[in-house]
C-alpha cells in the first residue's frame, strides 16, 4: 500500500513524496534525510521519522528536533496521522494523502450494474423522513464550507448520516494526464475500521461513463478476493460531480472534478445485496451531487463575474449571459473609441510627497476609481492601467452607434468629478487635474489570459493617437482633446449629445505621419456658461484665418475669448513668435516637436 505526503509552505504546495508500507522515512532539513524540507529553518536537520502503515503514517519526533509538531493545534511527539490529516512543523504543513489501490485480480467476482436515472426518479424512499432530515442540513453544509476541503469533509459526514448501510465515504478524483485515482478526503463510520481502499476500476468507469456506476461483490468468492476481505464491503458506487476541474495549488497535480465514492455492506443477507435499497441510496447521493454541482457552477460563475465586473459594464455582462458566453470576448478587429486619461503633474506630486508614498498611492487609487467608474457607467471596457493613467474603450465586445458618444460622455463626467473635487478643500483629490485624449478608429480588441484570470486590451494606431491627444492637452491648455472623426460625429448628433466641440488646431502629432484637426470637447452651456456658443464660433473662425495664413485677423478673433479661456494661448504664442505674419512656407499645419507637454 502507498501513501503520498504533500508539503505545503505559506499555503502553496511545494513538493510531494510517495511513502511505501514497511519502510521508515527520516524527515529533516539535512540533505541525507529521506524527506528533505530545506526551505524551512524551523525544521531541524534531523527532525522526525515517518512510518506508513495500514491505518496511516506514524509520526515520531527525534531527540534532535528543536521545534514541536502540531496536529489540529495540539502539540505532539508521537502520533498516527491518518489519510486526509496533516501535521505542522514550523511554517510547513505536511498532509498525508492515500494513493488508491486497484481491485482484486479476481475481477470476475465483481458485478458492474448500470444505473438508469429515469428508473431512479420513479423510486420511492422507504425512509423518506430520515433522508429529508439529513437534507435539511445541506444548506448549512454548503454555506459554511469556505474551501473545497471543508466541503468534502462536511459532505462525507452528511452522506454517512443519510445512507444507513454506508461504511465509508470518500471524495475522489482522477489525476489529469495519468488518469490515476486520487483520494481527496475519506471518512469511515467507525474509525477503528481503518481507511477505505477505493476501487480504481470503479472510479475510472464512473468518470468514463460520467454517471453513477455500482459494483457489487459476490461474497461466495470472498475468500479469493483480497480487496473485499480487507475492506469488509460487498458493494460500492461512484457518482461524479459535474463541473470544472479543480484548480490545484502551485506545483500540485492537476485533477479532474471530484466524485463521491460510497461503499458498505448489506447486513444479514449473505451473498445477496438489496439492490432496491442501494438504488435508493444512489438516488439520494445523485440528488446531493446535483445540488453541489449547481453550487460549484454558481460559485464559478460568481467568481468569473467578479473578475469581469472590473472590466465590463452591467449591460455587457448581461449580454454575455448567465453561462458567460466568453466567445464574445475573443480578440477581433472592430471599430472602437479609445479614451486615455492621465493625471497631470503626477511626477511633481510624487516628488513633493516622497516621504508619504503610501498616502499618495491611496489618492491615486481614488483618482483611478473615478476614471474607471465613469468608463463603466457609460458602457465602456476598462483596459490597462499605466501608473496614474487609465485606458477605456467602446465598440467591443458589443458594437453600438452610440459608443463614440458614450466615450465622450464618460470623458465629460470624469472632468466634472475632478472639477467638483477641486472646489472642495477637504477632498483628497482637490489638487489633481486630469487630461483626456479620445480617438475613433479600427483596432483589434479582446481578452488575453487564462480561464482563471482575464485581461482585456486593445491594439492599433487608434490607441497611440488617443495617447498623443492626451499628451497634447497640456500644450493646448485644454482638458479633453478628440480627433476629427469624433468632432463630426458629435456635430451630426444634434441634441442627442449634451456637450459641445471646438476645433483647435490642424496638427501633426509627434511621431506620427498623418496630420489631423484636433478639437476640444467642451461641457454643455449650462455647465460652462462663461464660454458661450458664440465664443466657440469666434474661436473656430480665428482658427480658419490662422490655417489660411491671415494671422492678423486670427489674432483679432482669438482676443475676443474670455480671459480665463487658455485654449487661445497656443495659437497666440505661434502668432506672436512670428510677429503676426505666417511664414512663407506655411501650409496650415503645426508640427509638434515633442511627445508630451
> 227-280 pLDDT, tens per residue?
433 456 778 899 988 765 555 444 455 677 889 999 988 765 444 556 677 888
Regarding whether 282 and 380 lie in a shared domain, the answer is: no
Tell me whether residue 307 is in a domain.
Answer: no
Tell me if residue 321 falls in helix, strand or coil.
coil
CATH classification at residue 124: 3.30.450.40
Q: Which of 190-199, 390-399, 523-532 has the lowest mean pLDDT?
A: 190-199
Tell me whether residue 532 is in a domain.
Answer: yes
Regarding whether 202 and 131 lie in a shared domain, the answer is: yes
Stretch 299-323: mean pLDDT? 62
Regarding whether 111 and 94 lie in a shared domain, the answer is: no
CA dist 34 → 47, 66, 177, 315, 422 (Å): 11, 19, 27, 58, 66
Residue 556 to residue 578: CA distance in whole angstroms: 15
Higher pLDDT, 228 or 289: 289
Q: In the prediction, which pLDDT does 550 show?
A: 95
Tell me whether residue 249 is in a domain.
Answer: yes
Regarding whether 66 and 40 lie in a shared domain, the answer is: yes
Percent of the chain predicted with pLDDT > 90 = 33
Number of structural domains found in the chain: 3
Higher pLDDT, 183 or 254: 183
Residue 348 has pLDDT above 50, yes or no: yes
Tell me whether residue 597 is in a domain.
Answer: no
- Which one of 41, 66, 98 terminates a domain? 98
DSSP state of 395: S
DSSP-H helix ranges across 310-402: 314-320, 346-352, 357-377
Higher pLDDT, 478 or 137: 478
Q: What is the pLDDT of residues 123-141, one digit of tens each?
A: 666 666 777 777 777 767 7
Tell me whether residue 122 is in a domain.
Answer: yes
Regarding whether 163 and 54 lie in a shared domain, the answer is: no
Residue 362 to residue 347: CA distance in whole angstroms: 16
Regarding whether 81 and 177 lie in a shared domain, the answer is: no
Regarding whether 493 and 385 lie in a shared domain, the answer is: yes
Regarding whether 138 and 38 lie in a shared domain, the answer is: no
Name residue, grid cell 448520516: 161
Q: CB–CB of 278/237 below 8 Å?
A: yes
Q: In the prediction, which pLDDT does 383 show?
A: 78
Residue 203 to residue 435: CA distance in whole angstroms: 61
Regarding whether 519 and 422 lie in a shared domain, the answer is: yes
Q: In the prediction, which pLDDT does 271 show?
A: 44
Can you say how many angstroms the Cα of residue 375 is from the centroid of all Cα atoms in its chain?
Answer: 20
Stretch 415-434: mean pLDDT? 89
Can you say how many angstroms the Cα of residue 389 is from the centroid of all Cα atoms in its chain?
Answer: 22
Q: In the prediction, which pLDDT does 119 show?
A: 59
Q: In the prediction, which pLDDT does 146 show?
A: 64
26: containing domain: 2-98
Residue 306 has pLDDT above 50, yes or no: yes
Q: What is the pLDDT of residues 13-46, one digit of tens each?
A: 445 676 777 789 899 988 888 888 877 888 999 9
Q: In the prediction, which pLDDT does 93 show?
A: 82
Residue 484 to residue 55: CA distance in whole angstroms: 77
Query: In sequence order, which residues have a C-beta less than 8 Å from that of residue 20 and are 6 or more positions away?
Result: 1, 2, 3, 52
* Mean per-residue pLDDT over the chain, rounded: 80
Angle CA(250)–CA(253)–CA(256) in degrees, nearest 5?
115
Residue 411 to residue 471: CA distance in whole angstroms: 15
In 3D space, the residue among 127, 117, 121 whose CA is nearest the CA of residue 277 turns out to be 127
DSSP state of 9: E
Residue 454 has pLDDT above 90, yes or no: no
Regarding whether 129 and 234 lie in a shared domain, the answer is: yes
Residue 144 has pLDDT above 80, yes or no: no
Q: CB–CB of 332/457 below 8 Å?
A: no
Percent of the chain predicted with pLDDT > 70 = 73
Residue 1 has pLDDT above 80, yes or no: no
Tell me whether residue 596 is in a domain.
Answer: no
Q: In the prediction, which pLDDT does 60 show?
A: 95
Tell me whether residue 309 is in a domain.
Answer: no
The crossing angle, in degrees rounded to 10, of helices 533-548 and 568-577 is: 30
CATH classification at residue 48: 2.60.200.20
Regarding whether 89 and 113 lie in a shared domain, the answer is: no
Cell numbers given for 490: 458629435
CATH classification at residue 479: 3.30.70.1230
Q: In the prediction, which pLDDT does 212 show?
A: 87
Q: Which residues pair with 185 in a beta bridge?
A: 171
Tell me whether residue 37 is in a domain.
Answer: yes
319-333, 349-363, 555-569 — most confident range? 555-569
Residue 217 to residue 233: CA distance in whole angstroms: 8
Quick one: pLDDT band at residue 555, thresholds 50, 70, 90?
A: very high
Cell numbers given for 366: 481614488
Q: What is the pLDDT of residues 488-509, one digit of tens each?
A: 999 999 888 999 999 999 999 8
Question: Torsions phi, psi of 473, nearest 5?
Answer: -60, -30
DSSP characters over 271-317: T---HHHHHHHHHHHHHHHHHHHHHHHHHHHHHHHHHHHTTS-HHHH
- Which one of 302, 326, 343 terminates a domain? 302
Residue 53 to residue 21: CA distance in whole angstroms: 5
Residue 476 has pLDDT above 60, yes or no: yes
Residue 99 has pLDDT above 90, yes or no: no
- Which one of 63, 98, 133 terminates a domain? 98
Regarding whether 513 and 445 lie in a shared domain, the answer is: yes
DSSP characters over 545-580: HHHHT-HHHHHHHHTTS-TT-TTHHHHHHHHHHTTT
Quick one: pLDDT band at residue 64, thresholds 50, 70, 90?
A: very high
Q: In the prediction, which pLDDT does 205 show?
A: 85
Amino acid at each position: 500500500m502507498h501513501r503520498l505526503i504533500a508539503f505545503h509552505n505559506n499555503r502553496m504546495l511545494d513538493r510531494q513524496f510517495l511513502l511505501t508500507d514497511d519502510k521508515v522515512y527520516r524527515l529533516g532539513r539535512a540533505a541525507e534525510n529521506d524527506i528533505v524540507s530545506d526551505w524551512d529553518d524551523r525544521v531541524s536537520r534531523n527532525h522526525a521519522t515517518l512510518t506508513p502503515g495500514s491505518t496511516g503514517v506514524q509520526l515520531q519526533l527525534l531527540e534532535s528536533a528543536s521545534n514541536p509538531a502540531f496536529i489540529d493545534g495540539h502539540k505532539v511527539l508521537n502520533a498516527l496521522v491518518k489519510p486526509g490529516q496533516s501535521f505542522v512543523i514550523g511554517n510547513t504543513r505536511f498532509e498525508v494523502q492515500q494513493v488508491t489501490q486497484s481491485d482484486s485480480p479476481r475481477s470476475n467476482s465483481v458485478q458492474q450494474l448500470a444505473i438508469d436515472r429515469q428508473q431512479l426518479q420513479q423510486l420511492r424512499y422507504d425512509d423518506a423522513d430520515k433522508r429529508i432530515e439529513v437534507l435539511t442540513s445541506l444548506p448549512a453544509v454548503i454555506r459554511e464550507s469556505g474551501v473545497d476541503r471543508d466541503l468534502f469533509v462536511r459532505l462525507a459526514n452528511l452522506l454517512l448520516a443519510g445512507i444507513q448501510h454506508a461504511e465509508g465515504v470518500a471524495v475522489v478524483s482522477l489525476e489529469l494526464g495519468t488518469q490515476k485515482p486520487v483520494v481527496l478526503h475519506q471518512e469511515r463510520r467507525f474509525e477503528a475500521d481503518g481507511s477505505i481502499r477505493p476501487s480504481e476500476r470503479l472510479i475510472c468507469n464512473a468518470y468514463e461513463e460520467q454517471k453513477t456506476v455500482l459494483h457489487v461483490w459476490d461474497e461466495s468468492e470472498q475468500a479469493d478476493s483480497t480487496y473485499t476481505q480487507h475492506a469488509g464491503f460487498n458493494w460500492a458506487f461512484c457518482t461524479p460531480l459535474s463541473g470544472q476541474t479543480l484548480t490545484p495549488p502551485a506545483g500540485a497535480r492537476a485533477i479532474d472534478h471530484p466524485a463521491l465514492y460510497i461503499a458498505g455492506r448489506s447486513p444479514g443477507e449473505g451473498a445477496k445485496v438489496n439492490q432496491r435499497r442501494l438504488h435508493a441510496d444512489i438516488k439520494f447521493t445523485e440528488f446531493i451531487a446535483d445540488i453541489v454541482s449547481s453550487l460549484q457552477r454558481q460559485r464559478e460563475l460568481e467568481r468569473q463575474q467578479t473578475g469581469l465586473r472590473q472590466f465590463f459594464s452591467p449591460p455587457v455582462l448581461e449580454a454575455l449571459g448567465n453561462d458567460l458566453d466568453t466567445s464574445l470576448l475573443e480578440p477581433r478587429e472592430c471599430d472602437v473609441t479609445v479614451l486615455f486619461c492621465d493625471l497631470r503633474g503626477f511626477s511633481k506630486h510624487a516628488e513633493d510627497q516622497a516621504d508619504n508614498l503610501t498616502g499618495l498611492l491611496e489618492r491615486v487609487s481614488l483618482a483611478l476609481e473615478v476614471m474607471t467608474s465613469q468608463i463603466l457607467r457609460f458602457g465602456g471596457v476598462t483596459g490597462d492601467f499605466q501608473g496614474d493613467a487609465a485606458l477605456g474603450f467602446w465598440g467591443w465586445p458589443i458594437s453600438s452607434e452610440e459608443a463614440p458618444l458614450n466615450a465622450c460622455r464618460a470623458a465629460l463626467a470624469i472632468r466634472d468629478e475632478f472639477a467638483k473635487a477641486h472646489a472642495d478643500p477637504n477632498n483628497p483629490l482637490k489638487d489633481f487635474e486630469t487630461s483626456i485624449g479620445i480617438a475613433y478608429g479600427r483596432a483589434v480588441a479582446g481578452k488575453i489570459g487564462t480561464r482563471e484570470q482575464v485581461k482585456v486590451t486593445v491594439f492599433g494606431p487608434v490607441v497611440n493617437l488617443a495617447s498623443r491627444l492626451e499628451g497634447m492637452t497640456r500644450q493646448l491648455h485644454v482638458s479633453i482633446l478628440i480627433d476629427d472623426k469624433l468632432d463630426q460625429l458629435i456635430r451630426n448628433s444634434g441634441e442627442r449629445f449634451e456637450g459641445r466641440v471646438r476645433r483647435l488646431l490642424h496638427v501633426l502629432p509627434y511621431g506620427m505621419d498623418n496630420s489631423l484637426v484636433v478639437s476640444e470637447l467642451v461641457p454643455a452651456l449650462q455647465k460652462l456658461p462663461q464660454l458661450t456658443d458664440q465664443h466657440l464660433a469666434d474661436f473656430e473662425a480665428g482658427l480658419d484665418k490662422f490655417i489660411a495664413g491671415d494671422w492678423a485677423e486670427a489674432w483679432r478673433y482669438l482676443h475676443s475669448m474670455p480671459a480665463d479661456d487658455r485654449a487661445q494661448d497656443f495659437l497666440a504664442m505661434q502668432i506672436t513668435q512670428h510677429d503676426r505674419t505666417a511664414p512663407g512656407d506655411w501650409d496650415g499645419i503645426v508640427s509638434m516637436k515633442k511627445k508630451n507637454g
